[in-house]
């Protein structure tokens, strides 16, 4: 019966369904994988070498050009929907459903990279306009800048073939540091909803800009950096509905939170929303001075009235007598142990300026200053003058016996820092982005798509010809990832190497 199909037309119409003899031939194909022999050091033009190379190439070629034979029943049918950039399944999904795919509109769907991977595995057949797509078609259609790039797909495929579970990374579904601080339980979103949200706010800058800042276009060029910070917070707020009220506040509140970030000056663009500013539209907070009522220095107990430009209109404030208030402030001196005082002194000493010196300030004329200097000289007797009588003195006096631990602490002038410090104010760009979450291979059995848990690692894909991440990129990605390590997958035309850049603090090593 099947044989008749074969001799159908003269024009070599290729039928996909095989005759029994062909099937048998396909089954009994040799499954030998070409072995890579020992490498020679350099090419000589000998026949033997050429022969070996040719044979090896032929083996590889025949392997690559092999046609795949699959049972029709094993193939899941899907339809490619370009408008949504997903594949909708027509027949029930197989075992892969455990770790891949999502549900949308009561249908099972796959992301394009998952679909392409399954096609290559021989589990899926995707139709477009009623015609099955070939692998080449798949590569061409499914991988684009709107979905994922070829390099990212190569990494995806590599990891999947090793058994890992790989999902797309969605920055907005990660808990923000504030949420992590509050230890909030996360809502479980299936990939579909994530995808939907991802589609609605494309990751490029312009769309979120236009959404949130239409009314402030004229201020945009100056306020670039704060707007980037804004984009993050505005993205976070509408897109995590299940999270508590802390983050679902309006964009205004998001702006409010920005004000408490230490390094960002509140921008005039925001301020003009509120009806506070009267005349000037630019506020320089560094020039607005609040009196320190708690300082130990003697202030006059009367404050002059503040600058009217700082106040709302129709408000007049007179001078203020705060002597009564002052009594209520705890003005006791801090009780520090002698060690603490010494530490304060050392801190002072390092930022040494002759005018900051208390004793020098108390000298009222040159005679007193000279006396002070000679007193100090007497104290420093014996120590080499070229080191100790100048502007900068050594950190430690070698005559003082001291234990090693204390000495090390004394000379620890340079402070170590960690990757997360200062990372919150870095804005993201297009060049360094986390693409995937990777889950361990042996957790496949209990993997639940609705509750995947914490990933084993996060992948950032880059090209071998591209730049190496600088500290800025490393800090940014570490901040985005939280406590999950970030792995850089470097793709060199199909060869993938993985590198990690991890935070480290050299431990203190004290020998007595």
Partner 1 sequence: MQAEFRPPRRRPRVQEEYEAPLPVVRCPEEKCELRADLINQHVLICNPEHIQKIHNQGYFGKGVLSRARPDHNLSYQWEQYEGVFLPVVSQSRYEELLVWAGAALSTQGSNEQTVSQMLHQLSQPVEMEDVLREMGWEGDTQTEKTAPERRVSEMKPEARRGCSLETQKVNPNYDPDPDQDSDSRPDLEREFNSDADPDPDSLVLGPGFFMVVPDNEDSGGVREVRPAPYSLSEYLQLSLEEAFFLVYSLGCLSVFLHQEPLSLVELWGKFCSLRPDFISSYAAYHHFRSRGWVPKGGGAVKYGSDLMLYRKGPPFYHASYSVIIERVNGAFAGSALRPFSWRSLAALSRITTNVSKELMLCYIIYPADLSEPDLDSPECLSRLKVQEVIVSRWISSRERAELDEF
Least CB distance from residue 440 to partner 1, whole Å? 6
**Of residues 288, 373, 411, 444, which one binds partner 1 by CB under 8 A?**
411
Counting residues that bind partner 1 (by CB under 8 A) gives 76
Least CB distance from residue 293 to partner 1, whole Å? 28
Under DSSP, the state recorded for 465 is T
**Of residues 303, 311, 363, 419, which one binds partner 1 by CB under 8 A?**
419
**Of residues 352, 359, 362, 377, which one binds partner 1 by CB under 8 A?**
352
Stretch in the footprint of partner 1 (CB under 8 A) among 91-99, 208-216, 368-376, 481-489:
481-489
Q: How many CB atoms lie within 10 A of CB 247?
A: 22
Supply 507's token pair. 């431990």
Helix (H, G, I), strand (E, B) or coil at 341: helix
**Of residues 5, 91, 417, 451, which one binds partner 1 by CB under 8 A?**
417
494 is an interface residue for partner 1 by CB under 8 A: no
308 is an interface residue for partner 1 by CB under 8 A: no
- Considering only residues 22 through 51, tell me which ones interact with partner 1, judged by CB under 8 A: none
C-alpha–C-alpha distance, residues 74 and 93, integer Å:
10
- Considering only residues 141 through 170, tell me which ones interact with partner 1, judged by CB under 8 A: 158-159, 162-164
**Of residues 177, 291, 308, 394, which one binds partner 1 by CB under 8 A?**
394
Rg of the chain on CA atoms, in Å: 35
431 is an interface residue for partner 1 by CB under 8 A: no
C-alpha–C-alpha distance, residues 142 and 150, integer Å:
10
Q: For residue 143, give the nearest of 99, 195, 85 by alpha carbon.
A: 85
DSSP letter string, 163-197:
T-EEEE--GGGSPPHHHHHHTPPPPP--HHHHHHH
506 is an interface residue for partner 1 by CB under 8 A: yes
Given CA atoms 267, 270, 274, 280 in this order, what sign does their dihedral have? Answer: positive
- Tell me how far CA of residue 307 lies from CA of 222, 284, 311, 323, 444, in angstroms: 27, 14, 7, 21, 66
- Considering only residues 437 through 476, tell me which ones interact with partner 1, judged by CB under 8 A: 440-442, 457, 462, 464-468, 470-472, 474-475
Q: For residue 104, give the nearest of 23, 195, 177 by alpha carbon.
A: 195
Q: Is 116 exposed, middle or buried (0-12, 13-18, 19+ CB in 10 A)?
A: buried
20 is an interface residue for partner 1 by CB under 8 A: no
The 265-304 site mask, x for binding partner 1 (CB under 8 A), equals ----------------------------------------
Q: In terms of CB distance, is 449 or 458 closer to partner 1?
A: 458
Stretch in the footprint of partner 1 (CB under 8 A) among 35-43, 206-214, 291-299, 384-392:
384-392
Q: In terms of CB distance, is 279 or 351 closer to partner 1?
A: 351
206 is an interface residue for partner 1 by CB under 8 A: no
DSSP letter string, 83-129:
TTTEEEESS---GGGGTS-EEETTEEEE-HHHHHHHHHHTSEEEEET
- Considering only residues 70 through 129, tell me which ones interact with partner 1, judged by CB under 8 A: none
Helix (H, G, I), strand (E, B) or coil at 107: strand
Least CB distance from residue 227 to partner 1, whole Å? 17
Q: In terms of CB distance, is 195 or 476 closer to partner 1?
A: 476
For residues 105 and 54, the answer to whether their CB atoms sit within 8 Å is: no
Q: In terms of CB distance, is 78 or 469 closer to partner 1?
A: 469
């Amino acid at each position: 019966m099947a044989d008749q199909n074969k001799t159908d037309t003269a024009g070599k119409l290729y039928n996909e369904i095989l005759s029994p003899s062909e099937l048998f031939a396909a089954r009994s194909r040799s499954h030998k994988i070409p072995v890579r022999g020992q490498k020679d050091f350099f090419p000589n033009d000998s026949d033997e070498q050429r022969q070996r190379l040719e044979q090896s190439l032929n083996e590889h070629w025949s392997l690559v050009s092999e046609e795949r034979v699959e049972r029709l029943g094993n193939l899941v049918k899907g339809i490619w929907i370009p408008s949504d950039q997903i594949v909708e399944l027509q027949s029930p999904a197989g075992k892969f459903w455990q770790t891949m795919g999502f549900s949308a509109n009561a249908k099972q769907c796959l992301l394009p990279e998952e679909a392409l991977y399954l096609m290559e595995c021989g589990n899926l057949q995707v139709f477009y306009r009623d015609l099955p797509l070939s692998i080449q078609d798949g590569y061409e259609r499914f991988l684009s800048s709107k979905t994922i790039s070829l390099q990212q797909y190569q990494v995806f495929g590599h990891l999947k073939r090793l058994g890992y579970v790989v999902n797309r990374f969605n920055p907005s579904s990660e808990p923000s540091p504030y949420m992590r601080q509050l230890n909030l339980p996360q809502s479980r979103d299936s990939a579909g909803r994530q995808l939907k949200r991802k589609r609605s706010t494309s990751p490029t800058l312009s769309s979120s800009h236009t959404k949130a800042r239409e009314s402030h276009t004229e201020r945009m060029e100056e306020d670039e950096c704060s707007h980037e910070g804004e984009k993050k917070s505005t993205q976070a707020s509408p897109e995590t509905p299940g999270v508590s009220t802390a983050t679902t506040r309006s964009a205004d509140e998001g702006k409010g939170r920005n004000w408490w970030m230490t390094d960002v000056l509140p921008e005039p663009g925001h301020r003009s929303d509120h009806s506070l500013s009267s005349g000037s539209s630019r506020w320089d907070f560094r020039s607005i001075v609040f009196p320190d009522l708690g300082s130990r220095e003697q202030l006059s107990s009367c404050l002059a009235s503040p600058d009217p430009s700082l106040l709302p209109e129709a408000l007049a404030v007179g001078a203020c007598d705060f002597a009564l208030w002052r009594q209520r402030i705890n003005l006791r001196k801090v009780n520090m142990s002698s060690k603490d005082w010494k530490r304060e002194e050392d801190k002072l000493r390092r930022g040494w300026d002759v005018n900051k010196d208390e004793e020098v300030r108390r000298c009222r004329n040159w005679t007193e200053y000279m006396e002070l200097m000679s007193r100090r000289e007497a104290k420093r007797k014996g120590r080499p003058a070229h080191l100790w009588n100048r502007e900068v003195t050594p950190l430690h006096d070698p005559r003082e016996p001291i234990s090693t631990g204390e000495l090390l602490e004394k000379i620890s002038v340079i402070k170590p820092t960690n990757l997360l410090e200062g990372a919150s104010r870095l804005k993201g760009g297009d060049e360094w982005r986390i693409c995937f979450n990777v889950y361990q291979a042996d957790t496949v059995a209990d993997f639940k798509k609705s509750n995947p848990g914490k990933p084993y690692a996060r992948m950032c894909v880059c090209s071998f010809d591209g730049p190496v991440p600088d500290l800025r990129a490393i800090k940014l990605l570490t901040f985005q990832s939280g406590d999950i390590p970030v792995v850089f997958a470097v793709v060199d035309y199909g060869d993938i190497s993985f590198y990690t850049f991890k935070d480290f603090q050299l431990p203190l090593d004290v020998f007595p």
